Amino acid sequence: MGNDSGRAQEPGNQPVVVVAPKRRHFAGFVVVLLVCLGAVGFYRGWFAISTREETQTHKVDINLQVDTGKIKQDTKKVAEKTKEEATQLSAKVKEEAKRLREQSK
């Protein structure tokens, strides 16, 4: 009669949940994020690939160039645009809060 297979589980005896699928999802998310960053980088001109083949040895040199100046320039533009939009949104929120305070009086 020591067999518990027919009984319902007690509330405190919950089965252990394995979290491995979450790690796999996180790794997949990181890979997708890196691919997107690479695609945006090539589109924006942050990265460039060039090749050169030597005809005598049949070797191919592949070079990856990173334009850090372009990356800094683009991130600066994004930061300025974000700050500008945040300032505008903040002003709208303050206006709306002021209007609601006046209505509640």
Residue 11: inside a domain: no
SS3 state of residue 95 = helix
Q: Are residues 45 and 72 in the same domain?
A: no
Q: Are residues 83 and 99 in the same domain?
A: yes
The three-point CA angle 8-11-15 to 5° equals 75
In this structure, are residues 47 and 64 in contact, taking their beta carbons and an 8 Å threshold? yes
Residue 89: inside a domain: yes
Tens-place pLDDT, residues 38-78: 999 999 999 999 999 988 888 999 999 999 999 999 999 99
Q: Are residues 43 and 77 in the same domain?
A: no
Q: Are residues 21 and 62 in the same domain?
A: yes
Tens-place pLDDT, residues 36-47: 999 999 999 999
In which band, very low, low, confident or very high, does the pLDDT at 97 lie, cut at 50, 70 and 90? very high
Q: Are residues 44 and 79 in the same domain?
A: no
